[in-house]
């Protein structure tokens, strides 16, 4: 039997911010998302940087540090940058690839253009945020990630 191919939509559906979007809006976000590969040792985002990309790790492992202190490790299906993408806030942590990583990246310029073209998308994201923000309360406030290995 043929193995089911995982799509960008399948990956994005795992993210609380995007999990409740309509198929149409999820497909639009998938359309603007890029899959990139980065080598071990590359800094994916610097603490306090004004980098508003949303990044999901598809393969590999990265570490998140704040003020040089390890906050946790990120791996498949973990993500960061979701609050920066929506609220345009600086990164609370430095994230560095520990292995070669494959990433799903949504750049803000395309995301904001999409929001202007699809106002119903903004409403769906606002509703998802209402569910998502309380669910992050058991994580360090400095870290805006889906899961942190302690």
Q: Which two tokens stand for residue 18?
A: 């995007």
Q: Is 143 exposed, middle or buried (0-12, 13-18, 19+ CB in 10 A)?
A: middle
Consecutive H or E run containing 128: helix 119-135
pLDDT of residue 132: 60
Chosen CATH of 8-135 out of 3.40.50.720, 2.60.120.10, 3.40.50.300, 3.40.50.700? 2.60.120.10
Q: Is 126 exposed, middle or buried (0-12, 13-18, 19+ CB in 10 A)?
A: exposed
- pTM, two decimals, is 0.78
Q: From first to last of the 150 residues of the chain, give the pLDDT tens digit.
A: 566 677 889 888 888 778 888 999 899 989 999 999 999 999 999 999 888 888 999 999 999 999 999 999 999 989 888 878 877 888 889 999 999 999 999 988 898 888 888 888 878 877 777 766 655 544 444 444 444 443
């Amino acid at each position: 039997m043929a193995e089911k191919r995982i799509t960008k939509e399948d990956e994005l559906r795992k993210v609380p911010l995007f999990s409740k979007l309509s198929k149409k809006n999820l497909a639009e976000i998938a359309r603007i998302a890029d899959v990139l590969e980065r080598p071990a040792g590359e800094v994916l985002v610097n603490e306090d940087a004004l980098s508003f990309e949303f990044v999901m790790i598809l393969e590999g492992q990265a570490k998140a540090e704040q003020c040089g202190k390890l906050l946790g490790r990120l791996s498949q299906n973990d993500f960061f940058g979701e609050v920066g993408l929506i609220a345009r806030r600086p990164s609370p942590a430095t994230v560095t690839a520990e292995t070669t990583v494959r990433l799903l990246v949504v750049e803000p310029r395309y995301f904001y253009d999409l929001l202007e073209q699809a106002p119903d998308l903004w409403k769906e994201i606002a509703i998802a945020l209402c569910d998502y923000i309380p669910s992050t309360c058991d994580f360090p406030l400095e870290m805006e990630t889906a899961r942190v290995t302690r």
